[in-house]
Amino acid sequence: MTEHIVPKKIYILVFAILIAFTALTTAVAYTDLGPFNTVVALAIAVCKASLVVLFFMHMKYNPGMTRIVLAAAVGWLAILLALTLTDVSSRHWLPAPQGWESSAPSPRPR
């Protein structure tokens, strides 16, 4: 790990961009983009996070294992979400068979 000193200017520039993105995402929340509100908000969030990781966390200057570690963490989270969603999104493709409901009242605890 080399001792790279990042110039103050870069930090301030990244800071300014982050503030600008925050203002942007808040402003977009007050406009109607339908389903794209979420997409834009997430895209901006990813950009902000990337800036923090690359510059504040020095990822740009210290490549190597740290990239693999971060990629693995994000990738595994993606696996958790994606495969769970395969269940939730496809659950209603096959409707439950008829006649399963019992006429007895379901038990409630307290």
Partner 1 sequence: MSEGHAQALVAEQFDDVEQQRGATSLGMWVFLATEVLFFGGLFCGYTLYRGLYSSAFEAGSHLLKIKFGASYTVMLICSSLTMALGVRAAQLRRRKALLIFLIITILLGAAFVFIKLRYEWYGDYLEHLVPGIDFAPEGENLVVIQRFGAALPHVSLFMFLYFVMTGVHALHMIIGVGLLATLFILAWRGHFTGGHYEPVEISGLYWHFVDIVWIFLFPLLYLIGGRY
Partner 2 sequence: MSTVAVEVPALPDVHYLNVSYGWRSWLLTTDHKRIAWLYLLAITFFFFVGGAAATLMRLNLIEPQGSLLEPATYNKLFTVHGLIMIFFFLAPAVPAVLGNFLIPIMIGARDVAFPRLNLLSWYIFMLGGSVFLYAVIGGGVDTGWTFYTPLSTTYVNTNVISAAMGIFISGFSSILTGLNFVVTIHKMRAPGLTWFRLPLFIWSMYAASVIFILAMPVIAITMVLLMLERFFHVGIFDPALGGDPILFQHLFWFFGHPEVYILILPSMGVISELVAAFARKRVFGYSFVAFSSVAIAVISFLVWAHHMFVSGMSIYAGLVFSALSFAVAIPSAIKVFNWTATMYQGSVSYDAPMLYAIGFIGLFTMGGLTGLFLASLAVDVHVHDTYFIVAHFHYIMVGGAVMGYLGGIHYWWPKMTGRLYPEGWARLSALIIFIGFNLTFGPQFILGYVGMPRRYSVYPAEFQILNVMSSAGASILAVGYIIPLIYLLWSARYGPPAGPNPWGAKGLEWLTSSPPPTHNFEETPIVTEEAYAYAQEEA
Q: Which amino acid appears at position 12 of this protein? A: I
Q: Which of 9, 53, 102, 110 binds partner 1 (CB under 8 A)?
A: 53
Q: Measure the CA–CA gap between 34 and 72, rounded to whole angstroms.
A: 33
Q: How large is the C-alpha radius of gyration of the chain?
A: 23
Nearer to partner 1, 9 or 99 (CB): 9
Tokens of 11: 């930090």
Does residue 92 interact with partner 1 by CB under 8 A? no
**DSSP H or E segment with residue 17:** helix 8-29
Q: Which of 5, 27, 88, 104 binds partner 2 (CB under 8 A)?
A: 88
Q: Which residues bind partner 2 (CB under 8 A)?
A: 65, 72-73, 76, 79-80, 83-84, 86-91, 93-94, 106-109
